[in-house]
Structure 1
Amino acid sequence: MKELPIDQQTRVTLHFALKFSDGEVIDSTFDKAPATLEIGDENLPENFEAYLMGMKAGESNSFQVPPEKAFGQHNPSNVQTFKRREFSPDMVLEKGVMISFADARQSELPGVVSRVEGDEVEVDFNHPLAGRTLTFDVEIIDVEPVGAAH
């Protein structure tokens, strides 16, 4: 059973760390309980799942993930400029502040203020990790078929 490779229809228990290429940790389970997920359940982006395919319990690896396989390249057309009056008067608008917008389908769309100048507020809707090469460290603890008794 321990020889089952990671594939569709498997439940994986693993430790992972996501880091910037300089080693700064973005997210990690190595200092807490491991994560358990089913391949294809969207807990992990599909491109990250692809790195795990074929790994077995007891294996570890470290992957360099280019922006195209991580959160995409930074897209200049995802940066929008608004007028100050379009925001409520008591809202703090300064660089780095995250604001939640509703898109046309009323889904939540987070944006980060990238510039405030006079009456203009520039908001960046790119994923905060867009354009970054990331290091994805994994240690596979267990691989089970989905539907197996716990």
Structure 2
Amino acid sequence: MNSLINNAFQEISLVFDIGRDAGFRFPAPSYKLLTHLNACRFLQPRTAPPDRIATTIMTEAKQGDTVRLHYKGTLDDGSVFDSSEGRDPLEFTVGSGQIIVGLDRAIPGMKVGDEKTVKIAAEDAYGPHDPDAQQTVPRTQIPDSVPLEVGMQLQGQTADGQVMSVVVVSFSDEDVVLDANHPLAGKDLTFEIQITGIN
């Protein structure tokens, strides 16, 4: 191979020396030049070693990013309380307070395609159950058109016009006990999540 390369460069030198003496210019390599370069395999494509091939850097989620994820939420008994299956991914801004604190904290550092199981204590989810959030109201305050059932959710309005959701704990002909705690208050939660997009 070394002798082939040396011969190639001697031929190249000879071609250019003759051309220069004759006053020729070489806007492109001569046929002989290409022939020898081909013979020396200089025109064969070269593949970089695997450890030197550039890889795409995946963006990691950080505070202020808009993230999309699929999720499944379960309780300690394994029952599913919510899931994005069959729906669009949940979209939110990291650190904005749009989702519960425990889940929000788990997002930074994740990349598109990453999956994670996150266990969240009640304090970092919907908070502890507050007994003072229960209130007894006269049955007459509930419209007759509403067929009451234990566990059903109702929407009420506070004195300052704020809309809030309550759950029927119990009722009689005279009174209805309503609970303003979130249905998941006081419960530890587990989320299985997968990141589908980061902007």
Do the aligned partners of 1:2 and 1:143 also contact (CA within 8 Å) in 2?
no
Map Cα deviations across residues 6-28 of structure 1 (whole Å, 9 max, x no partner).
11121222211111122222222
TM-score by length of 1: 0.83
Q: Where does residue 10 of structure 2 map in the other structure?
A: none
**Higher alpha-carbon deviation: 115-124 or 27-36:** 27-36
TM-score by length of 2: 0.64
**Residue-pair matches, total:** 144
Distance 2:142 2:86 in 1: 40
Q: What are the ranges of 5 or more consecutive residues in structure 2 without an aligned counterpart? A: 1-55
Which is helix-richer, 1 or 2?
Answer: 2
Distance 1:35 1:79 in 2: 31
Distance 1:30 1:89 in 2: 37
The 3-state SS of whatever aligns with 2:91 is strand
Letter in 2 for 1:7: K
Larger radius of gyration: 2
Q: Where does residue 111 of structure 1 map in the other structure?
A: 166
Q: CA 1:37–1:86 in structure 2 vs 1: closer, same or farther (change >3 Å)?
A: closer
Q: Where does residue 99 of structure 1 map in the other structure?
A: 154
| RCO comparison, higher one (Cα < 8 Å, 6+) | 1
Q: What are the ranges of 5 or more consecutive residues in structure 1 without an aligned counterpart? A: 145-150
Root-mean-square deviation (CA), in Å?
2.0
The aligned runs of 1:1-150 (5 Å cut-off) are 2-144=57-199
**Higher alpha-carbon deviation: 128-137 or 112-121:** 112-121
Identity of aligned residues (%): 28
